[in-house]
A = this chain, B = another copy of it.
């Protein structure tokens, strides 16, 4: 599976987004067409994220286990794979060993 390793011609915001005391850190950027995304990393932890807009979380390194709100099953996600999260929802994520590197696509 191919992994998105870079984005060209973007506007990058210099201040990081820090969540859960640094267990998750991301940087926001904007594509030439105005689309907003972020790149980030989740360190080894068990966290629950809420969503406003729907999100597609694309793994570009490491791995995680994820369970969407209302679902019983956990799913393993590795580099090159993605998982979709509905808007106004949440997901549980567990990272162990290598950090989970991701791109967050909104909307």
A interface residue numbers (CB < 8 A to B)? 3-16, 18, 21-23, 25, 27, 29, 39-41, 43, 60-61, 99, 101, 103
Contacts and interface: CB of A to CB of B under 8 A. Distances in A.
- Ranked nearest first, the 8 interchain pairs of A and B with the lowest CB-CB distance are A16-B41, A22-B43, A25-B25, A14-B60, A15-B61, A15-B101, A14-B39, A7-B12
Given A21-B43, A27-B27, A6 B11 contact: yes
A25 B14 contact: no
16 contacts: A3-B14, A5-B13, A5-B15, A6-B14, A10-B11, A10-B12, A12-B29, A15-B39, A16-B41, A16-B61, A18-B99, A22-B22, A22-B25, A22-B43, A25-B41, A27-B27
Chain copies in the assembled complex: 2
A6 B16 contact: no
Nearest to A25: B25
A91 to B, nearest CB: 20
